[in-house]
Amino acid sequence: MHNSQVPAETWSIAELAAEYDVTLRTIRFYEDRGLLNPERRGTARVYHPRDRVRLALILRGKRLGFSLDEIAKIVDMYDAEPGEEGQLAYLLDQITHRRTELEQRRRDIEETLQDLAEVEARCHADLKALRDQSDSR
Amino acid sequence: MHNSQVPAETWSIAELAAEYDVTLRTIRFYEDRGLLNPERRGTARVYHPRDRVRLALILRGKRLGFSLDEIAKIVDMYDAEPGEEGQLAYLLDQITHRRTELEQRRRDIEETLQDLAEVEARCHADLKALRDQSDSR
DNA sequence: TTCGTGCTTGACGCTTACGTAAACGTAAAG
DNA sequence: CTTTACGTTTACGTAAGCGTCAAGCACGAA
């Protein structure tokens, strides 16, 4: 078995912040809340691909409106060790729970998109009415 | 043109709170932020179907992770008067904006659901491994 | 009249998710 | 050696979204 020699790229906190358009404060805050655990080289933080993925997951969770506490649980699911049976059952339970939530949100989105389409149609109708009115003057 | 005589039902704050499972404080807070404008009968609040719809829209917005300020803009779009051309153009712009956001969120949800499916599959595989192992003892 | 029930308006408290200095370390470049 | 860039911790500030009293009004039943 050979050591598959991937570059094993790393990033500084500033690089990661620039890439994902967040502040350094935000990244450090996520670490403070246990969402990130970068390596330390001296006192400085060094981020590995794994940390990068976690940050992306965190931000996706935020866009979805989850709290950081919820995001912590979700993200930790991805990194979960095989563990024993009870742990796996718990994980499966969590998955079901999150899926239910997400499907509710998807329904909310569909409904809202439809509502927006209606408002838009009304808008166009109103615009047409205005134009017809001014044309006939 | 006859006066279509719908019952014109109304609700108290407590009834509305119970129906949507929010506290009185929450409903009053939404009013404070300009999201609701119930009728007053003496000092008491009286909610009409229109208010009920708005509350439902607010809560859906919350599930979608919008801030109350954003929700205010969205909900007000529904009730917008025909208005003049500039106003309508602004509204259409807002609609496009919201739609873009919602479509991003929908993509996030799809991705997350797929990720969850993968974690779930891994989970089931791990469970199977555990069972096979204990079977062979 | 008194009680209970449901409503009202403050007003202070709390948590989340950061922003915003302040004060300091370190390492390469000029 | 000093400047500059980039990083660090500590800590107070703040906006949002309510929770949680406190104190009081209104109204029908007992």
pLDDT over threshold 50, residue A1: no
The domain containing residue B129 runs over which residues?
A: 80-137
CB of A120 within 8 Å of any CB in chain B?
A: yes
What does residue B55 show for φ and ψ, rounded to 5 degrees? -60, -45
Q: Domain check: are A10 and A75 in the same one?
A: yes
Q: How far apart are CA A132 and CA B5, in angstroms?
A: 33
Residues A20 and A72 in one domain: yes
Do A66 and A54 have their domain in common?
yes
Q: What is the pLDDT of residue A115?
A: 93
Burial of A90 (0-12, 13-18, 19+ CB in 10 A): middle
Same domain for B1 and B28, yes or no, is yes
Residues A19 and A65 in one domain: yes
pLDDT digits (tens, 9 = 90+) for A34-78: 999 999 999 999 999 999 999 999 999 999 989 999 999 999 998
Angle (CA) A128-A110-A101 rounded to 5° is 155
Chain B residue closest in CA terms to A123: B88
Partner residue opposite B64 with nearest CB, options A84, A103, A112:
A112
**DSSP code for B25:** H
End residue of a domain, out of B25, B41, B66: B66
pLDDT score of B6 more than 70: no
Statement to judge: residues B9 and B55 lie in one domain = yes
Answer whether residue B106 is part of any domain: yes
> Are A82 and B126 in contact (CB < 8 Å)?
yes
- Percentage of residues of chain B with pLDDT beyond 70: 93
* Nearest-by-CA chain B residue for A62: B65
Residue B128 forms contact with A (CB below 8 Å): no
Interval B67-113: pLDDT, tens:
999 999 999 988 888 778 888 888 898 899 999 999 999 999 999 99
Give the tens place of pLDDT for each residue, A100-119: 999 999 999 999 999 999 99
- When pLDDT is cut at 50, 70 and 90, the band that residue B131 belongs to is confident
CATH number at residue A47: 1.10.1660.10
The verdict on residue B103 lying in a domain is yes
Look at residue B72 and tell me if it is in a domain. Answer: no
In chain B, whose CA is at the least distance from the CA of A91? B123
Q: Regarding beta strands A39-41 and A44-46, do their DSSP bridges make them parallel or antiparallel, or are they unpaired? A: antiparallel
Q: Which nucleotides of C are covered by protein (CB under 7 A)?
A: 6-9, 11, 16-20, 26-27
- B48 in the same domain as B88: no
Per the CB < 8 Å rule, is A63 touching B104?
Answer: yes
Q: Do B78 and A115 touch (CB under 8 A)?
A: yes
A104 contacts chain B (CB < 8 A): yes
Nearest neighbour of A105 by CB, restricted to B63, B115, B124: B63
- Using a CB-CB distance cutoff of 8 angstroms, which residues of chain B are in contact with residue A126? 82-83, 88
Mean pLDDT (whole number) for A11-25: 96
The answer to whether the CB of B112 falls within 8 A of the CB of B119 is no
Residue that is last in its domain, among B44, B66, B88: B66
Residues B62 and B14 in one domain: yes
Q: What residues contact B60, with CB distance under 8 A and at least 6 apart?
A: A108, A111, A112
Which residues of B fall within a CB distance of 8 Å from A63?
Answer: 65, 104-105, 108
**B59 Cβ nearer than 7 Å to chain D strand:** no
Same domain, A62 and A92: no
* End-of-domain residue from the set A29, A45, A79: A79
Nearest alpha-carbon partner for A94 in A75, A113, A114: A75
Residue B14 has a CB neighbour count (10 Å cut-off) of: 11
Query: Is residue B74 in a domain?
Result: no
For residue B110, the one-letter residue type is E
Count up the domains in chain A and report the number.
2
Cα separation, B58 vs B29, whole angstroms: 12
Residue B41 lies in a domain: yes
Are A50 and A14 members of one domain?
yes
pLDDT > 50? residue B42: yes
- Looking at chain A from residue 45 to 64, which residues have their Cβ under 8 Å from any Cβ of chain B? 60-61, 63-64
- Same domain, residue pair B95 and B131: yes
Q: Are residues A26 and A46 in the same domain?
A: yes
Rg (CA), chain B: 23
